[in-house]
Amino acid sequence: MGRKTPQEKKRLSYLKDRRDDYGENAKSSRKNLPRSKAFARRANRARESLALRAATGVPDEARAEAAELRLLGKRRRV
């Protein structure tokens, strides 16, 4: 395999690039990808803090076990 010309490199780069397959604006992808990741992380943190809030107060084995099961039972957003 010899050296690639700059034109060939660019063509191969476009073939590998999958961010704008739908003809969207490049800026929308740059903004929406981090936004969707932040939304998923925020939802995970809210769900986890809600489950942990149920376990606060006087240490009780049953409440702690229930909160842990609730926390582990739900699927995380990706």
Q: Is the dihedral of CA 45, 70, 61, 57 positive or negative?
A: positive
What pLDDT is attached to residue 39?
Answer: 94
Instruction: Determine if residue 43 is left, alpha or beta; phi over 0 gives left, psi from -120 to 50 gives alpha, anything else beta.
Output: alpha
What pLDDT is attached to residue 68?
Answer: 77
| pLDDT band (50, 70, 90) for residue 74 | low
Residue where the block lists tokens 């490049």: 26
pTM: 0.49
Per-residue pLDDT at 26 exceeds 80: no
